[in-house]
Amino acid sequence: MADTSVELFEPGHRACGGCGPALAARHILKGSGPDTIVVASTGCMEVFSTPYPESAWKVPWIHSLFENAAAVASGIEVALKKQGRKEHIVCICGDGATFDIGTMCISGAFERGHNITYVCYDNEAYMNTGIQRSGATPYDASTTTSPAGSASHGNRTQKKDMPAILAAHGAPYVATASIAYPNDIVKKVERAVNIPGACYIQIHAPCYTGWGFEGARTIDVAKLAIQTGLWVNYEMVDGDVEKVKKVKRKPVDEYLAEQKRFRHLFKPKRNDEEIAKIQAIADRNAANFGIDI
């Protein structure tokens, strides 16, 4: 069992107060432990945690580029194997780095099956550059490059199913998690780093600055995503869904209405048609994963 009393992600970092990804980082490291090498992509977390010469990381940490963390991790893993070393290698990358610009490197690394754990902290847009849409941005979310307007409901596409894509690569372990349940993150990361091969964990990490809600409610918003079925926490082992968090589902309105990125769906009046489409996404999730209690 991981010793969760050890903090490997130090305070003094420059994340916004109430940052979901910062909270994720703490618990990822609790799960992987001190014998971990972290490979970061360019992004919010990289920037807020490592302005030279102040690093928040107490484990070895490396950042190269936006899109190559999985390839850098591949090299580290092979070097460690050659040297007979046993450290865990954990990529911690945002959704832009994972869903969009880094997919080639990730696909290569997962196909080769390096013994790495790739963790995506998913805050559903490019937050570091000012809230532009990514492949992880949900349907209808207003971002700075998918703004809602008189001729647009916001982001036109649905969230890409990265866990399924990586499971299809033959990943022995794929899981989703949420900062709403930190102990679950610890357990899943600990499990992943101890499974040989390339494992993937996607952590829902609300960004109150980018999504537009009050920072103190970061955990509540993360919980609502799960309670509405718009985010599902599950584990897949060798491609089969093993464990799913079940919920007594709430209507998606409760999750959407609180966030500025969905405000256009409620003002000047409730957009029944669009909200029904989002409800349908939640219903489909519920059917696919059997989350309803």
Partner 1 sequence: MLQVLEGSIAVAEAVKVCKVDVISAYPITPQTHIVEKLAEMVAEGEIDSEYICVESEFSALSACLGASAAGSRVYSATSSQGLILMAEVCFNVAGMRQPVVMTIANRAMGAPLSIWNDQQDSLTLRDSGWIQVYAEDVQEVTDLHIIAYKVCEDHRVLLPAFVCFDGFVLSHTYEPVEIPDQGLVDKYLPAYNPYNMLDAKQPLSMGMYATPDYYHEFRYEHEMAMQRAAGVWREAGAEFAKIFSRDYSQAVEGYRLEDADIALVALGSVCGTIKDAIDEMRNDGLKVGLLKIRVYRPFPADDIKKALSGMKKVAVVEKNLSSGSRMLGIVGLEVKDAINDSSISVLSYVTGLGGRDIRKSDIRKIVNACNEGKGNMFSGLREEIL
Partner 2 sequence: MALRIGCAAPPGNSRNNKTGSWRVFKPIFNYEICTACGICQSLCPDACITLVNEQYTPDYAFCKGCGICANDCSTDAITMVLEEK
Instruction: Give the interface with partner 1 as residue ranges (CB under 8 A).
Output: 34-37, 39, 46-47, 50-53, 55, 57-65, 67-68, 71-83, 87, 104-105, 107-109, 111-112
Assess 68 for contact with partner 2 (CB under 8 A): no
Residue 293, C-beta contacts closer than 8 angstroms, at least 6 positions apart: 246, 247, 248
Residue 13 or 159 having the CB closest to partner 2:
13
**In the window 175-234, what residues touch partner 2 (CB under 8 A)?**
182-183, 214-220
Assess 127 for contact with partner 2 (CB under 8 A): no
Assess 7 for contact with partner 2 (CB under 8 A): yes
Angle between helices 20-32 and 218-227 (to 10 degrees): 80
Closest CA to 126 of 141, 108, 104, 114: 141
Residue 79: name its binding partner from partner 1, partner 2, none (Cβ under 5 to 8 Å by kind).
Answer: partner 1
- Find the binder of partner 2 among 18, 33, 94, 206 (CB under 8 A): 18
CB of 87 to partner 2, least distance (A): 14
Residue environment code for 74-85, b if the CB has 16+ CB neighbours within 10 A, otherwise e: bebbeebeeeee
- Exposed / middle / buried, residue 53 (Cβ in 10 Å: 0-12, 13-18, 19+): exposed
Which pair of structure tokens corresponds to residue 50?
A: 């490592």
C-alpha torsion 185→188→193→197, nearest 10: -130
Q: Is the Cβ–Cβ distance between 117 and 90 less than 8 Å?
A: yes
Assess 42 for contact with partner 2 (CB under 8 A): no
CB of 258 to partner 2, least distance (A): 13
Residues that bind partner 2 (CB under 8 A): 7, 9-20, 22-23, 26, 49-50, 52-61, 182-183, 214-220
